Every structure is written in structure tokens, then in C-alpha cells.
A and B are shown apart, each in its own frame.
Chain A
């Protein structure tokens, strides 16, 4: 059972079950805990190779035991996501912890990934349970529905879940080349039905200055 203690510490109450968390993110625990490094994110050999190849590396540990375990990472804000059979797409660097029952994997994101400066691949989390994602400043959760598509700055995007189509919009014109661009030359447009998480801060992206 995941809960937030403040906004920057995740507390997980466990009764013999397990969670997967970013390596080294445990800050305290109470009770009996065993920590085990999971090579390749617990995705088996194939996952390990995929992650190595795609650069979506994450070092994950499995925490199992009884009691409460607290996680935090560089005072990042933590956001809880509950999954009911749907899929969460998140950058591996923004993923803090997941229920052990959730499956993680990698997926190709194409140009969107490139525009975020995070590479061409992203991490997926699937199944029933909870996950905790990190952001620079508390994330704003925005609902996308059929009549309300959403457009997001790639630098502020951290995750999305649900049944969403994303398309990449580029506003690069000759003005951009003249240095007169609108400052938002690259955008991701989400359509469909789901949630998008954005952080109140922009990563440095190649599109940041055009």
C-alpha cells in the first residue's frame, strides 16, 4: 500500500509482499526488509538486453518484507498513480517505485522521445496496482478526453496513462531559422482518453530555444 508522507517521501506498508523501487532510493524502514538488486529491472534476460540497447536503463531493487519502507530521491516531488489494467508510460528516470505485481517494459516513442531529450524509448508499467513517479515540482494531472485534446511541451511532460494517441507537432518555420520562433516549436498532442502528468518545470531539450 503506497502513501505519501509529505510530498517528497513515499511510504510503503508491506505485509510480506514486495515492491520494485529505484536502486538506492530507500531512506528508512521499519520492520523486516530484504533488499535485492534486480538486474535488468526484473524483466528477465530479454528485458535486460532491450534496456541496454535502448538506453532506457534503470537499476531496480526488489524490497520484500514486513513493515514500512520509506523511499525518496533527491527531494523530487512524488506523485502516486493507480493502475487498473491500463498502461503507464513514464521515463525511467522519473519512475521511483512500482508494485511488484506490475509489469515493466520498454517501448519506442519515436520523435517525441527525441524532442524530450530522453532518447527514443520510454518505460511502460502495466497491470493492477500502484506506481510512484517523480517530478521537478508537483505534477499537474490533466485529463484528456475526446472533446478535449491536450498539447504539452516536451520538456514538461513526465508521464501519461490510458488509451492515448500522441502526435508530434512541429511549428518550425522559416521564422524559427531566423531566430524569430514562437518558443514552442515542438509540442506533443495527446488525443483519446486518459491522463497526462506535467511538471512545472522544463527539462533542457533541443527544442528549448527555438
Chain B
């Protein structure tokens, strides 16, 4: 037997590893008993027992994918683990935590979601870069620093936002006094004259919970996949159908048209 007598690190084996719980702040253990879990590619660090990892495109998984995976073009980043044994998940030494959803919904930044039970359905959010989980089950998410839960109404820093549950109103909020007029526009664009860097927030109202991480380090964004190119779908780049957008030559960003609008001309 090898072990660390007194004061050494804890040595885990399949018996002492927790079941669907954290091993330490940065590592999460999932027990599979012939069941399946969805996980983001490459987040498994070790496992006991026999497991198989299959890409979502695997034919045998068609039925499972049909019921609990609705992010079609994002599929190549996800795999299904199945088998029996215990599996450790971790992500770049970020804090990981599990959350239980009970017939609820939660929207989360795509890079933060590590794994979820197939009893939850994963869908692309209408908000670009976010994913929504609906149903009952457990999922594992990573964050830079521990996650704090806040009650709306609340305004949060965009970089600190991890996700939200049951609040239907994520919207942008600008401090208008600071952002309008010529001076405001200049300040916002150049950062000169005392831009605090906090003029822009996300605002949530209504009943629900907002999840924040305790740092403003963003996790690398996972592509959520392109949305269908149809009119009326945010982020699709689809053709504009309304008359409100005056046609004409496509403007380069930063061209004068933008400036004019910013300065309220």
C-alpha cells in the first residue's frame, strides 16, 4: 500500500470518491451506473471503471440527442459519456460546482457549462453565446472564483455574469448621463475623461436568480453554433426585412454613420 501517513494529501479510490459531488473546489466526481452524461470535450481528467466517450454524431446516440440536445451546430464540442464507474471532471483549475434544476430553466454562458444529465434538455439561448438548460436534473458549471447567487432586480457587470435562472428579462443598461451627448460619446470611445469602465451593465428584473462569478475573467467562449439564417433571429446575420434599416452600402465599423448616431446628430 502506498499512502501518505498523517498530514499527507487524501488518497482517493473508487470507494472514497464522492458520488456526484465535489472532490475539491476544482474537481467534480460523477458516478455513472450504466447511465449517460453529456460533457464538454476534454473536461474528463480521469476515471475508474469502464466508460466510453462518443461524439454527439454517433448514430447510436440519435435518440438521446433528439430528446436532450437541441443545439445542433454546437454538437462537435460535446460528447456523451456512458458506462459504469466514477469520472472526474475539471476545467483549467477553475472552480466547479454542481447545480440541481427541478423542473426549471437556467441560462448559462456557453464556456461555463461543463456537463449535464440527459434528463435536462440543452438548447441554444436566443441571447448569443448562451445556452439554456430546461428540465429536472443536475449540471456542472465552472466559474472563475466561487459563484454567488443574487436576486433581481439587479444590474451586473457583463464579465461577471455566469447565468440566470427563471428571469426572463436580460437586457442591456447604459448609464445615460454618462453616455449621451458629444462629451459622453467621446468618453465612451476614448476612455478619456474618466470612463469608469462600468457604464454598461446587464439588467435583470422579475423573479429569479442571477449567478455571478467573483472575478471578471471570462472563460474562453465555446461556440454555440450558428443559428439558422432567417429573418428575425438575433445573431443570425440574416437579411433585414423591416424598412427601418436604411439600405445602402455596408458600413465599416467606426465609420462616420456610427459616430453620428452616437453623438445624437
Q: Is the CB of A152 within 8 A of B93?
A: no
Q: Which parts of A161-210 form the interface with B (CB within 8 Å)?
A: 161-162, 171, 175, 178-184, 193-196, 198-202, 208-209
Could you mark each residue 1-42 of chain B with 1 if its beta carbon is under 8 Å from any beta carbon of chain A, else 0?
111110011111110000000011111000000000000111
Residues in chain A near residue B3, CB distance under 8 A:
143, 195
B13 to chain A, nearest CB (A): 4
State A162–B4 Cα separation when bound (angstroms): 13
State A138–B43 Cα separation when bound (angstroms): 16
Query: Quick one: given A150-B48, A201-B90, A201-B93, are A143 and B55 in contact (CB under 8 Å)?
Result: no
Number of residue pairs spanning A and B whose beta carbons lie under 8 angstroms apart: 131
Task: Determine whether A145 belongs to the interface, using a CB cutoff of 8 Å to chain B.
Answer: yes
Query: Quick one: given A142-B11, A152-B46, A184-B79, are A175 and B2 in contact (CB under 8 Å)?
Result: no
Q: Is the CB of A180 within 8 A of B58?
A: yes
Residues in chain B near residue A155, CB distance under 8 A:
42, 45
A200 to chain B, nearest CB (A): 3
B interface residues, how many (CB within 8 angstroms): 42
Q: Is the CB of A137 within 8 A of B93?
A: yes
Query: Quick one: given A140-B88, A143-B13, A195-B2, are A180 and B76 in contact (CB under 8 Å)?
Result: yes
Task: Determine whether A153 belongs to the interface, using a CB cutoff of 8 Å to chain B.
Answer: yes
Q: Is the CB of A153 within 8 A of B45?
A: yes
State A161–B43 Cα separation when bound (angstroms): 24
State A198–B189 Cα separation when bound (angstroms): 46
Residues in chain B near residue A80, CB distance under 8 A:
4, 8-9
B53's closest neighbor in chain A, by CB? A182
Q: When the two chains form the complex, which single residue of B9, B40, B44 contacts A141, counting CB atoms closer than 8 Å?
A: B9
Q: When the two chains form the complex, which single residue of B4, B79, B93 contacts A200, counting CB atoms closer than 8 Å?
A: B93
Q: When the two chains form the complex, which single residue of B13, B26, B54 contacts A138, counting CB atoms closer than 8 Å?
A: B26
Residues in chain A near residue B9, CB distance under 8 A:
79-80, 139, 141
State A108–B55 Cα separation when bound (angstroms): 33
Task: Determine whether B178 belongs to the interface, using a CB cutoff of 8 Å to chain A.
Answer: no
Residues in chain B near residue A179, CB distance under 8 A:
76
Q: When the two chains form the complex, which single residue of B14, B45, B54 contacts A182, counting CB atoms closer than 8 Å?
A: B54
A193 to chain B, nearest CB (A): 7
A195's closest neighbor in chain B, by CB? B2
B23 to chain A, nearest CB (A): 6
Could you mark each residue 146-159 of chain A with 1 if its beta carbon is under 8 Å from any beta carbon of chain B, else 0?
00111111011000
Q: Is the CB of A140 within 8 A of B12?
A: yes
Q: Is the CB of B53 within 8 A of A183?
A: yes
B54 to chain A, nearest CB (A): 5
Please give me the 4 A-B residue pairs with the lowest Cβ-Cβ distance, nearest first.
A137-B93, A183-B41, A200-B90, A182-B53
With A141-B10, A148-B13 already in contact, 20 other A-B pairs whose C-beta atoms are closer than 8 Å = A82-B4, A82-B5, A143-B13, A150-B46, A151-B46, A153-B42, A155-B45, A156-B46, A156-B90, A175-B58, A178-B57, A183-B40, A183-B41, A183-B44, A183-B53, A183-B79, A193-B1, A200-B91, A201-B91, A201-B93
Using CB atoms and an 8 Å cutoff, list the residues of chain A in contact with chain B: 79-82, 86, 136-143, 145, 148-153, 155-156, 161-162, 171, 175, 178-184, 193-196, 198-202, 208-209
